[in-house]
Structure 1
Amino acid sequence: MLGVCVLWFFVIARLFTLQIWQHELYASLAAGTHEIYKELLPRRGTVYIQDGETLFPAALNRVLYQVYADTRSLNDPEDTAVRIAPLVGMDKNEQFMLFLKLKEAKERNDPFEPIKQKITEEEKTAIEALKIKGIGFAQQPFRYYPEEEIGAATIGFFGMGSDGKAVGRYGVEGYFDATLSGEPGFIRGERDAIGAWIPLGRRSFSPAHDGADIVLTIDRTIQYELCTTLEAHRIEFEAQSAAAVVMDPKTGAIKALCSASTFDPNKYNEVESVDIYNNQAIFKAYEPGSVFKPFTMAAALDQEVVTPDTTYVDEGSRKFGNFTIRNASNKVYGEQTMTNVLEFSINTGMIFVVEKLGKEIFREYVQRFGFGTRTGVQLDTEAAGDTSSLDQKGEIYAATASFGQGVLVTPVQLAAAFSAIANRGELPRPYIVQEIRYSNGEIKKTEPSVVRRVLSDRATALIVGMLVSTVENGFYRPARVPGYYVAGKTGTAQIAEGGDYVEGATNHTFVGFAPAEDPRFVMVIKYEKPKRNFADATTAATFGTMAKFLLQYYGVAPTR
Structure 2
Amino acid sequence: MIKRIKLRSLFIGGCITLFFLVLVGRVFWIQVLQGDFWQKRAADTWAHTTIIRAQRGQITDRNGSMLASDVPAYTVVVEPDVIQEQGIRDEVVEGLHGILNKPVSELEELIDAKDKDGNLYKNREVRNEGWKVDQEVADKITEFAKKLEKEHDIRETGVGWVKDQKRYYPKDSLAAHVLGYTDRDGKAVAGLEYFYDKLLKGTDGYLDYQSDGKGVKLPDAAETYKPVVNGDKLRLTIDSTIQYYIEDAMKEAYDEYQPKSMTVIAADPNTMEILGMANLPTFNPNEYWKTQDQGDFYNHAIKSIYEPGSTFKIVTLAGTVQEKLFDPNAKFQSGQIRIKGYSRPLHDIKRAGWGQITYLEGVKRSSNVAFVKLGYEMLGQDKLKQYIDNFGFDEKTGIDLPGEVKGRITPEWPVEFATLAYGHGKVQVTPIQQLAAVSAVANGGKLLKPHMVKEIADPNTGKVTVTKPEVVRQVISAETAKKTGSYLEQVVADQEIGTGRHAYIEGYRVAGKTGTAIKVEGQNYDNSKVLVSFIGYAPVNDPKIAVIVIIDEPNAEVGGGTAAAPVFKKIVSQSLEYMGVPKVYTEKDKKAGKAQTAAASVRKTPNLVGQNMKSAKEELIDQGFDFESVGGGPSVVSQYPAAGTALSSGQKVYLLSEQGDKPTIPDLRGESLRDALEVLTLLKVGIQVDGEGYVSKQQESVNNGKTKVSLTLKPDEQMGEESDTASAEAGDPSTQPTSELTSELTSDLNTGENAASSN
TM-score tier after normalising by the smaller chain length: 0.7 to 0.9
Q: 1:529 aligns with which of 553, 565, 589?
A: 553
- Counterpart of 2:7? none
1:461 shift after superposition: 2.0
Alpha-carbon distance between aligned partners in 2 of 1:166 and 1:67, rounded to the nearest angstrom: 17
Deviation per residue, 1:217-276 (Å, 9 max, x gap): 110111011112112202211211010011111111111001111111122222232122
* Alignment-mate amino acid for residue 253 of structure 1: E
1:516 shift after superposition: 1.2
Alignment of structure 1 residues 320-469 onto 2, 5 Å:
320=340, 321-354=342-375, 355-389=377-411, 392=412, 394-405=413-424, 406-441=426-461, 442-469=463-490
Alpha-carbon distance between aligned partners in 1 of 2:478 and 2:100, rounded to the nearest angstrom: 71
Deviation per residue, 1:477-532 (Å, 9 max, x gap): 32111122211110001112323211221111101111111111111111001123
Indicate yes or no: 2:127 matched with 1:113. no
Specify the SS of the correspondent of 1:330: coil
1:358 shift after superposition: 1.7
Alignment of structure 1 residues 515-554 onto 2, 5 Å:
515-530=539-554, 531-554=556-579
Indicate yes or no: 2:192 matched with 1:172. yes
* Alignment-mate amino acid for residue 157 of structure 1: Y
1:296 shift after superposition: 0.4
Indicate yes or no: 2:167 matched with 1:155. no
Tell whether the 8 Å contact from 1:231 to 1:242 is kept in structure 2 after alignment.
no
Alpha-carbon distance between aligned partners in 1 of 2:293 and 2:550, rounded to the nearest angstrom: 21
Indicate yes or no: 2:78 matched with 1:63. no
Specify the SS of the correspondent of 1:117: coil
1:426 shift after superposition: 1.9
Gaps of 5+ in 2: 1-43, 150-154, 586-759
Q: What is the percentage of aligned positions where both structures have the same residue?
A: 27
1:186 shift after superposition: 6.0
* Alignment-mate amino acid for residue 70 of structure 2: N
- Counterpart of 1:513? 537
Tell whether the 8 Å contact from 1:170 to 1:278 is kept in structure 2 after alignment.
no
Tell whether the 8 Å contact from 1:372 to 1:384 is kept in structure 2 after alignment.
yes
- Counterpart of 2:670? none
Specify the SS of the correspondent of 1:110: coil
- Counterpart of 2:701? none
Q: 1:146 aligns with which of 143, 162, 170?
A: 170
Specify the SS of the correspondent of 1:108: coil
Alpha-carbon spacing, 1:483–1:87, altered in 2? closer, same or farther (3 Å): same
Indicate yes or no: 2:337 matched with 1:317. yes
What do you get for the CA RMSD once the two structures are aligned?
A: 3.3
Q: Aligned residues, how many?
A: 520
Gaps of 5+ in 1: 1-27
- Counterpart of 1:6? none
1:166 shift after superposition: 5.0
* Alignment-mate amino acid for residue 111 of structure 1: K
Alpha-carbon spacing, 1:485–1:199, altered in 2? closer, same or farther (3 Å): same
Alpha-carbon distance between aligned partners in 2 of 1:398 and 1:289, rounded to the nearest angstrom: 14
Specify the SS of the correspondent of 1:55: coil
- Counterpart of 2:61? 49
1:135 shift after superposition: 4.4
* Alignment-mate amino acid for residue 224 of structure 1: Y
- Counterpart of 1:90? 99
Alpha-carbon distance between aligned partners in 1 of 2:100 and 2:197, rounded to the nearest angstrom: 39
Tell whether the 8 Å contact from 1:263 to 1:276 is kept in structure 2 after alignment.
yes
* Alignment-mate amino acid for residue 90 of structure 1: I
Tell whether the 8 Å contact from 2:50 to 2:207 is kept in structure 1 after alignment.
no
Alpha-carbon distance between aligned partners in 2 of 1:395 and 1:225, rounded to the nearest angstrom: 43
Specify the SS of the correspondent of 2:528: strand
Alpha-carbon spacing, 1:499–1:75, altered in 2? closer, same or farther (3 Å): closer
- Structure showing greater radius of gyration is 2
TM-score (normalizing by structure 1): 0.84
- Counterpart of 1:23? none
Alpha-carbon distance between aligned partners in 1 of 2:173 and 2:100, rounded to the nearest angstrom: 29
Alpha-carbon distance between aligned partners in 1 of 2:301 and 2:540, rounded to the nearest angstrom: 24
Deviation per residue, 1:129-154 (Å, 9 max, x gap): 61642544312322222222222111
Deviation per residue, 1:24-65 (Å, 9 max, x gap): xxxx99698xx934x1x4322222113xxx412212222221
Alignment of structure 1 residues 206-355 onto 2, 5 Å:
206-320=226-340, 321-354=342-375, 355=377
* Alignment-mate amino acid for residue 169 of structure 2: Y
Alpha-carbon spacing, 1:117–1:315, altered in 2? closer, same or farther (3 Å): closer
- Counterpart of 2:627? none
- Counterpart of 2:30? none
Tell whether the 8 Å contact from 2:302 to 2:431 is kept in structure 1 after alignment.
yes
* Alignment-mate amino acid for residue 450 of structure 1: V
Alpha-carbon spacing, 1:543–1:101, altered in 2? closer, same or farther (3 Å): closer
1:203 shift after superposition: 7.7
1:184 shift after superposition: 4.0
Which one scores higher on RCO, CA 8 angstroms, separation ≥ 6?
A: 1
Tell whether the 8 Å contact from 1:287 to 1:493 is kept in structure 2 after alignment.
yes
- Counterpart of 1:496? 520
1:309 shift after superposition: 2.1
1:417 shift after superposition: 0.9
Segment of structure 1 superposing worse, 338-347 or 190-199: 190-199
* Alignment-mate amino acid for residue 353 of structure 1: L
Tell whether the 8 Å contact from 1:88 to 1:123 is kept in structure 2 after alignment.
no
